């Protein structure tokens, strides 16, 4: 049977189910990664499973999100992560070693393997030819313990790249172009598989920019074949033995084919407040820019920053623009310092930041009121930067560097900015893994450090046959996990669910959590009413865990995003979809609802009926749940389900 690359790797890892698009399958996971923001909860959940040691080939715990240490919380959490990693045999990448996806690509990613990460940009690993999927921390904890990861066998879309990019046009423009075709909606349970002669001219980090930001379309993952380019990258990382060739069979089948002529791609920009609002940079030419931020797991590789440095060389950043640069990893940081690129940046007037997520997740560098902030990362959700009134514009490093110099948007294809500097990249990267703590047998008896910010993960109760309660909030389309569970300064409370829960929906309704708690304490269920694509963006399971803690029992939406829908199930919250959109329109915050006969309906695959006592109407709700997921829901979440199964 001729397989595409995705199915080739999935077939090798298939442990349960039938590999047919649309059906639920269980796959084995070779590698996992966590980052600190989702990691503390993932390891607390892992600990509660009572397993003595991880069972994956390799699991890595990165600290890259919460690195601003204002107060004890983050430092305490780092120590918890370090000690818990040592105890269970997890590699620990210390704060400052770099952003999880960048470091994983450099040091651990392997073609043909499966990687599950508690971060939605885990598909970055697709750049090296692995099946890399983002999931909630609890799913990653289960995988670390040797459990399967369940997903819907995806439809695979072939993206054929032909030709060669023009000077000043880059990999970022390719993925922005793809986003302009696919948008951020309607791509759940699909995989983007890249091929065509055009990929030969794309390095592994460039491919990784494309697979990284593929997450914004909502697909399960994206992947490139493993070829000579992959081999050269692994060789340069002194990891040639990790290479193997992998590509699709000749007659492989795809559900859709998209052809892109790279010669025709132009510099693109995603306008506020969605990565799907893509236009050509030309359309913004002349628009004033207030801030430029270069970095993140999308665009902070050695080649990205070497190009930026050379564009800035012997120039000064515009007097009215604040420019910061954060290298993607310590390897990149160290190499640009030795090559002179760092000096080019400093001399131009750029502010140099730690190699962490930083500005991308709103930890520092919040722009001024109403700012036009030009950034090289992957998300520009409203308020994510830390300044609600600012607009974030997502571009390539090349365009960001031009904005830094000119103080306005410039299209280098239609304005004469000179030739793009030619850069020479070294044949070998500098290898120094001393900021990674490798697990040692001797440390297995270690005491795990727990600061006062660490609280045990709350548990849910088994699902009731009837839910009676109130709509706690009504929200519109494209609500992101950043809307549900704000990051930035709130991030440091992620290991303390009671405290973090007080910020649920903070920006949309500051009273939500107080009201929900009151309802919960008086024995009422809380319902969330949502439009299309609810739960876009990050993998943060706190967007399900904290609402669960506040008494949310069901999300009633027009449609739901993959990772968030899975997280809702994992925490025992019903993910329900309106059969008719008009029912969403007819409901309002405060409406009293009853859902009856839930268990029987789930068992018999029947729609659930919501009775709106306030409006005296009824609404039919659908759901897409596997048998396993129904059992998880009935048990009150994945932790309860796993316990019941092992008894
Ligand atoms: C993001 O880019 O939104 C994050 C912050 O990395 C999240 C993870 C998180 O919420 O901690 C993600 O992408 O999953
Ligand atoms: Fe970090 Fe931003 Fe990448 Fe998320 S998208 S992992 S916050 S750099």
Ligand 1 atom closest to 35 (CA): 11
Separation between Cα atoms, residue 14 and residue 91, nearest integer Å: 26
CB 64 within 8 A of CB 356: yes
User: What separation in Å is there between the alpha carbon of 249 and the centre of ligand 2?
Assistant: 33
Residue 64 CA, closest ligand 2 atom number = 1
Torsion over CA: 37, 40, 45, 50 (sign): positive
**591 vs 579: CA distance, rounded Å:** 19
| Distance (Å) of CA 205 to CA 145, 208, 229, 234, 300 | 30, 5, 10, 11, 9
* Radius of gyration, alpha carbons of the chain: 24
pLDDT for residue 444: 65
CA of 252 from ligand 1 middle (Å) equals: 33
pLDDT in tens, 91-132: 999 999 999 999 999 999 999 999 999 999 999 999 999 999
CA of 134 to the centre of ligand 1 (A): 10
Ligand 2 lined by 357 (C-beta under 6 Å): yes
Residue 491, beta-bridge partner list: none
Q: At 133, list the tokens.
A: 């999927």
The verdict on the CB of residue 297 being under 6 Å from ligand 2 is yes
Nearest-atom number in ligand 1 for the CA of 134 is 14
Q: Are the beta carbons of 379 and 297 closer than 8 angstroms? A: no
Atom of ligand 2 nearest to the CA of 379: 5
Ligand 2 atom nearest the C-alpha of 295 is 8
How buried is residue 160: exposed, middle or buried, by Cβ count under 10 Å (0-12/13-18/19+)?
A: middle
Q: How far apart are the first and last CA of the chain?
A: 41
Residue closest via CA to ligand 2's atom 2 equals: 360
Probe ligand 2: pick from 297, 299, 363, 365, max atoms within 8 Å of CB? 297
Q: Who's near 277: CB < 8 A, 6+ residues apart?
A: 270, 271
Instruction: Find the 214 Cα to ligand 2 centroid distance in Å.
Output: 13
Q: Yes or no: say if 245 and 227 are a contact pair by the CB < 8 Å rule.
A: yes
CB 144 within 8 A of CB 36: no
Q: How many CB atoms lie within 10 A of CB 432?
A: 11
Could you give the CA distance from residue 29 to residue 139 in angstroms, rounded to a whole number?
11
Q: Could you tell me the sign of the dihedral formed by the alpha carbons of 208, 209, 213, 219, in that order?
A: negative
Instruction: Tell me which residues of the chain have a pLDDT lower than 70.
Output: 442-444
Given this model, what pLDDT does residue 411 score? 98
Ligand 2 and 378: CB distance under 6 A: yes
Q: What is the pLDDT of residue 643?
A: 78
Q: What is the reported pLDDT for 645?
A: 78
Q: What tens digit of pLDDT does each residue of 227-280 get?
A: 999 999 999 999 999 999 999 999 999 999 999 999 999 999 999 999 999 999
Q: Ligand 2: distance of its center to the CA of 297 in Å?
A: 6
Omega prior to 273 cis, within 30 of 0? yes
Residue 316 gets the label, from left (phi > 0), alpha (psi -120 to 50) or beta, of beta
CA of 541 to the centre of ligand 1 (A): 10
Distance CA 428, CA 443 (A): 33
Instruction: Please report the pLDDT score of residue 20 as a whole number.
Output: 97
- Residue 468, CB-side half-sphere exposure with 13 Å CA sphere: 4
Set out the domains of the chain in order of their start, with CATH numbers: 268-406 (3.30.499.10), 467-646 (3.20.19.10)
Residue 421 DSSP label: P
User: Cβ(56) to ligand 1 under 6 A?
Assistant: no
Ligand 1 atom with least separation from CA of 215: 13
State residue 305's pLDDT score: 98
Ligand 1 in reach of 540 Cβ (< 6 A): yes
Residues 225 and 214: their CA atoms lie apart, in Å, by 16
From 39, 270, 301, 361, the mutation candidate for ligand 2 (largest count of ligand atoms within 8 A of CB) is: 361
- CA–CA distances in Å: residue 443 to residues 91, 141, 448, 587: 12, 20, 11, 56
Nearest CA owner, ligand 1 atom 9: 540
Structure-token pair, residue 590: 């405060």
121 lines ligand 1 (CB under 6 A): yes
* 157 closest CA partner among 255, 251, 10, 247: 255
| Contact partners, residue 440, CB within 8 Å, separation at least 6 | 86
Which ligand neighbours the alpha carbon of 539 most closely?
Answer: 1
CA–CA distance, 43 with 372 (Å, rounded to integer): 39
């Amino acid at each position: 049977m001729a397989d595409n690359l995705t199915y080739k790797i999935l077939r090798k890892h298939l442990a349960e189910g039938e590999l047919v698009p649309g059906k639920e399958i269980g796959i084995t996971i070779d590698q996992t990664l966590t980052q600190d923001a989702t990691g503390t909860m993932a390891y607390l959940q892992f600990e509660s499973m009572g397993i003595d040691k991880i069972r994956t080939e390799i699991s890595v715990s990165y600290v890259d999100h919460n690195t601003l240490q204002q107060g004890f919380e983050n430092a305490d959490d780092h120590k918890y992560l370090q000690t818990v990693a040592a105890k269970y045999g997890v590699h620990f990448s210390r704060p400052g070693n770099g952003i999880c996806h960048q470091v994983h690509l450099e040091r651990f990613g392997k073609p043909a393997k499966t990687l599950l990460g508690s971060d939605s940009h885990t598909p970055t690993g697709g750049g090296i030819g692995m099946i890399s999927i983002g999931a909630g921390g609890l799913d990653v904890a289960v995988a670390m313990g040797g459990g399967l990861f369940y997903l819907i066998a995806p439809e695979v879309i072939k993206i054929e790249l032909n030709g060669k990019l023009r000077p000043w046009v880059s990999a970022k423009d390719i993925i922005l172009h793809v986003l302009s075709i696919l948008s951020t909606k309607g791509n759940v349970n699909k995989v983007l598989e890249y091929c065509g002669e055009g990929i030969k001219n794309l390095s592994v980090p460039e491919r990784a920019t494309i697979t990284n930001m593929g997450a914004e379309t909502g697909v399960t993952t994206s992947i490139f074949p493993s070829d000579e380019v992959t081999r050269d990258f692994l060789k340069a990382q002194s990891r040639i033995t990790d290479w193997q060739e992998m590509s699709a069979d000749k007659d492989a089948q795809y559900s859709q084919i998209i052809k892109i002529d790279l010669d025709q791609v132009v510099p693109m920009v995603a306008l506020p407040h969605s990565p799907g609002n893509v236009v050509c940079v030309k359309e913004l030419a002349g628009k004033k820019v207030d801030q430029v931020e270069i970095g993140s797991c999308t665009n902070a590789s050695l080649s990205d920053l070497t190009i930026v440095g050379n564009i800035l060389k012997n120039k000064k950043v515009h007097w009215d623009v604040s420019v910061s640069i954060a290298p993607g990893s310590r390897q990149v940081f160290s190499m640009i310092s030795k090559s002179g690129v760092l000096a080019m940046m400093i001399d131009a007037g750029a502010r140099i930041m730690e190699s962490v997520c930083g500005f991308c997740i709103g930890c520092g560098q919040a722009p001024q009121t109403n700012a036009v902030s030009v950034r090289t990362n992957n998300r520009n959700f409203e308020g994510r930067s830390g300044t609600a009134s600012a607009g974030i514009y997502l571009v390539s490093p090349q365009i960001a560097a031009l904005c830094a110099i000119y103080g306005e948007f410039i299209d280098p294809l239609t304005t004469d900015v000179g030739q793009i500097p030619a850069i020479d990249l070294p044949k070998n990267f500098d290898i120094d893994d001393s900021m990674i703590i490798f697990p040692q047998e001797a440390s297995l008896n270690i005491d795990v450090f727990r600061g006062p910010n660490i609280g045990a993960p709350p548990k849910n109760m088994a699902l009731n046959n009837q839910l009676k309660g109130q709509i706690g909030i009504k929200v519109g389309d494209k609500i992101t996990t950043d809307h549900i569970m704000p990051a930035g300064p709130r991030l440091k409370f992620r290991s303390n669910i009671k405290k973090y829960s007080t910020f649920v929906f903070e920006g949309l309704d500051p009273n939500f959590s107080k009201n929900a708690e009151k309802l919960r304490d008086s024995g009422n269920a809380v319902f969330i009413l949502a439009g299309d694509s609810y739960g876009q963006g990050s993998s943060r399971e706190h967007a399900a865990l904290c609402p669960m803690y506040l008494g949310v029992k069901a999300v009633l939406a027009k449609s739901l995003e993959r990772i968030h829908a899975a997280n809702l199930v994992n925490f025992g919250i019903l993910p329900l979809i309106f059969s008719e959109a008009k029912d969403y329109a007819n409901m309002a915050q405060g409406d009293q609802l009853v859902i009856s006969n839930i268990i029987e309906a789930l068992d018999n695959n029947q729609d659930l009926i919501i009775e709106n006592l306030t409006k005296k109407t009824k609404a039919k709700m659908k759901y897409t749940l596997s048998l396993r997921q129904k059992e998880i829901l009935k048990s009150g979440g994945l932790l309860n389900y796993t316990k019941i199964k092992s008894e």
